[in-house]
């Protein structure tokens, strides 16, 4: 796979899965645009990538803010002349049981995980429509498929992403733009680091492949879905969970 001369925007790439996706595409020749709310962190990750001899740029942007997304995307388009791949990866959790979940925790998760995907897709799809090509990959979660007690807000966003993916896949297909989702299981990042050891042990018992996933396991699927080898795949959700949801 070769992504030379392609520009990829990865939201939420200052750490975790997004950062690994950024490195994976940069290693294959793409210009990786690192996006997070903190511009210094985004610049630091871009510098790490550049120090390895690859191309990257960090831009501070809050995906919940449409104006911010427009500015970030225009900056990328002006400088690199195309946005070839968009990975909607930024996401958070604010877990609680329904009766204890505050309205603000509901709103925060919906705004970042779901409205953020709408904002970035709307702006970048317009650029891709003009170019008559593009790849959009949305990071969902198996929780959006199975549900999980204590994660009603998160599950609603991740299930919403799957419906959104199918809908815009239909809208954009005639211009050779594919839209797919990846639904990871439990991947070792800051998001899952907070889990107690006893919870991790229980989780491991429910994973047929017997281990938690790594960010690279998710990045590998993104590489495939963004490549020409996946040109005939759209509207799909690929589960990367060690068999957990079987």
Tokens of 137: 């990959």
Contacts of 85 (CB under 8 A, 6+ apart): 3, 6, 7, 8, 9, 25, 30, 134, 135, 136, 137, 226
> What is the rounded distance in angstroms from the CA atom of residue 136 to the CA atom of residue 171?
13
For ligand NAP, the closer CB: 50 or 188: 188
C-alpha dihedral sign at 210, 96, 68, 170: positive
CB of 167 to ligand NAP, least distance (A): 19
> What is the rounded distance in angstroms from the CA atom of residue 22 to the CA atom of residue 211?
24
| CA distance to 1, 5, 86, 94, 124, per residue, from 28 (Å) | 7, 10, 16, 35, 22
Applying CB under 6 A, the residues found at the interface with ligand NAP are 11-18, 35-38, 41, 62-64, 89-92, 112, 116, 139, 141, 184, 186-187, 189-192
For ligand NAP, the closer CB: 129 or 145: 145
For ligand NAP, the closer CB: 18 or 134: 18
For ligand NAP, the closer CB: 58 or 134: 58
Number of Cβ within a 10 Å radius of residue 20: 23
For ligand NAP, the closer CB: 91 or 242: 91
Picking from 146, 140, 138, the residue whose alpha carbon sits closest to that of residue 246 is 146
Phi and psi dihedrals of 103, rounded to 5?
-60, -35
CB of 10 to ligand NAP, least distance (A): 9
Examine the residue annotation and report whether 80 is marked as an active-site residue of this protein. Answer: no
Pairing of strands 31-36, 134-139: unpaired
Q: Considering the candidates 54, 80, 154, 186, report the single residue annotated as catalytic.
A: 154
CB of 73 to ligand NAP, least distance (A): 13
CB of 174 to ligand NAP, least distance (A): 28
CB of 97 to ligand NAP, least distance (A): 19
Strand order of the β-sheet with 134-139 is 55-60, 31-36, 7-11, 85-88, 134-139, 177-184, 237-240
Return the active site residues. 154
């Amino acid at each position: 796979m070769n992504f030379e001369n392609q520009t990829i925007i990865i939201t939420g790439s200052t750490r975790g899965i997004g950062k690994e996706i950024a490195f994976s595409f940069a290693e294959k020749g793409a210009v990786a645009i690192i996006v997070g709310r903190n511009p210094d962190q985004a610049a630091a990750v871009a510098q790490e990538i550049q120090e390895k001899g690859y191309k990257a740029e960090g831009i501070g942007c809050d995906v919940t803010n449409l104006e911010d997304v427009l500015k970030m995307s225009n900056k990328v388009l002006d400088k690199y002349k195309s946005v070839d791949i968009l990975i909607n990866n930024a996401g958070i959790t604010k877990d609680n049981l329904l009766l204890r979940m505050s309205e603000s925790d509901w709103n925060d998760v919906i705004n970042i995980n779901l409205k953020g995907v709408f904002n970035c897709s709307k702006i970048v799809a317009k650029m891709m429509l003009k170019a008559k090509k593009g790849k959009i990959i949305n990071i969902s979660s198996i929780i959006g498929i199975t549900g999980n007690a204590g994660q009603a807000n998160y599950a609603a966003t991740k299930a919403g992403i799957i419906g959104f993916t199918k809908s815009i896949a239909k809208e954009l297909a005639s211009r050779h733009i594919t839209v797919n989702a990846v639904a990871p299981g439990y991947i070792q990042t800051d998001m899952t680091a907070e889990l107690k050891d006893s919870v991790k042990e229980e989780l491991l018992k429910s994973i047929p492949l017997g281990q938690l996933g790594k960010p690279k396991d998710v990045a590998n699927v993104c590489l495939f879905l963004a490549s020409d080898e996946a040109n005939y795949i759209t509207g799909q959700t690929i589960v990367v969970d060690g068999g957990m949801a079987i």
